[in-house]
Amino acid sequence: MKFGSSGVRGLASDLAGRASGLYTEGFARRLRATGFEQGKVFVGRDLRDSSPAIAHDCMAALAAAGFQPVDCGPIPTPALAFYARRQGAAALMVTGSHIPADRNGIKFYGPKGEIDKADEAAITAHVAELSDQYPWPPTYADWQAGHEQALAAFRDRVGGILPPGALSGMRLGVYQHSTVAAELLVEVLRSLGADVIPVGKSDTFVPVDTEAVGQETMAKVRDWVREFKFDAVVSADADADRPLVIDENGELFRGDLIGLATALFLKADVVVTPVTSNSGIAAAFGFSVRRTKVGSPFVIEGMDAARQAGGIIVGFEANGGVLLGSDCLVNGKILSALPTRDSFLPILAVLGTVASTGKSLSNLRETWNLPVCASERLENFPVETSRGLMRKLADRDALQRFLAPFGMVADVDETDGLRALMTSGEIIHLRPSGNAPEFRCYAEAASHERASEIVAMALERVRVATLADKTEAV
């Protein structure tokens, strides 16, 4: 287990029990060290089979550490974070987000919001210090419930983003699968006048990665679009901090385009987004752009730095999760800052833009005329294998040989992984996942077909190269 781009993650079997208690104790010690001596800690979870038991372990550890756990049950991460922030309390979310069902994780929030890299390092140090002596199990008890209160507060927040009836005339599908946002998304969209049809509800956990949507998922969504004549299909990942939007033709509306639409909807002055987001998102849209490493802690750090200049600050990642770094006026009301990934604000911003302009989602994409992006991943790709490959490709000659089928390398951005700009103008970005044993590739090209071809070819070259290294080692 380790901290990745958002929270600590590992196999659910490794995290359950003593390990979840140990990380929670490390979090409790960090809270005390930063001035949060005692008080409520709101605890939520996603719908994985392993999440209830891990959440229970975390609450027991919090109580043993002198805090007051409040059980918020299955709830969207942004709803939990918003409620805790409004109460000036800490929070803890048990979720593996988009990763497979056999894995899980914990996200931590201090009274001011999502923890940063310094907090992660401190918690990791506490875990190492306590690992041989942490007592387990603590005494279990009944916890105070906070599910309905937290949901009600978030429902009020998102319900005021668009005016009443703003989505009237739109026919929308909500892909429910096993996201904690399933019912709330339907409720919110119907309250705004949309004709909503829920589809794809699943009793077993379905990992949905909004940054690398599987072909099987896309095929199902296209069938629903044809059957129901949807204007759009929307969804979210397991804990609802990443949105999924599919257009009226059954094509993916990529996460960085969702982020761009949200920034324009909010009239942002500054946009903070990782290097993996579309390179065409630039100052020409009317805001300054700051690029970061991948991961919400880095985006939050960038938003904090931008706050000195004032104005409306919006952060987003290529997975579509939007972080609001400042209060802003929306629909005649103040929408308070929420510096953690949220799927509801961007979904409403995109749909509100479509409804107010009369353009379809595909029209919106064409209007911006950005480079076309594609991304995919190799799953179950060992972390050490990823590290070995990246060390090898850090040599510019080795990288050129690896990318030779795509032309000549003109420049390389090493902010996060290796992002190669080719002399053709195409971009190939190779990067190990920070959350799971996966290897990712992002590409930009003149067409979707070409970008997808680059990603497929590059990942195949990664697979072949690592197999060859293993053979040589034997």
Q: Which residues are annotated as catalytic?
A: 97
Q: Cβ distance 322 to 259 under 8 Å?
A: yes
Cα Rg of the chain, angstroms: 22
Q: Which amino acid is at 30?
A: R
Q: Convert the chain into a string of H (helix), E (strand) and C (coil).
A: CEECCCCEEEEHHHHCCHHHHHHHHHHHHHHHHCCCCCCEEEEEECCCCCHHHHHHHHHHHHHHCCCEEEEEEECCHHHHHHHHHHHCCEEEEECCCCCCCCEEEEEEEECCEECCHHHHHHHHHHHHHHCCCCCCCCCCCCCEECHHHHHHHHHHHHHCCCCCCCCCCCEEEEEEECCCCHHHHHHHHHHCCCEEEEEEECCCCCCCCCCCCCHHHHHHHHHHHHHHCCCEEEEECCCCCCEEEECCCCCECCHHHHHHHHHHHCCCCEEEEECCCCCCCCHHHCCEEEEECCCHHHHHHHHHHHHHHCCCEEEECCCCCEEECCCEEECCEEECCEEEEECHHHHHHHHHHHHHHCCCHHHHHHHHCCCEEEEEEECCCCHHHHHHHHHHHCCHHHHHHHCHHHCCEEEEECCCCEEEEECCCCEEEEEECCCCCCEEEEEEECCHHHHHHHHHHHHHHHHHHHHHHHHHHC
With tokens 């609450």, the residue in question is: 59
In this structure, what are the phi and psi dihedrals at residue 363, rounded to the nearest 5 degrees? Answer: -60, -40
Q: Give whole-number Cα distances, 377 to 11, 95, 295, 373, 426, in Å.
A: 19, 20, 17, 14, 19
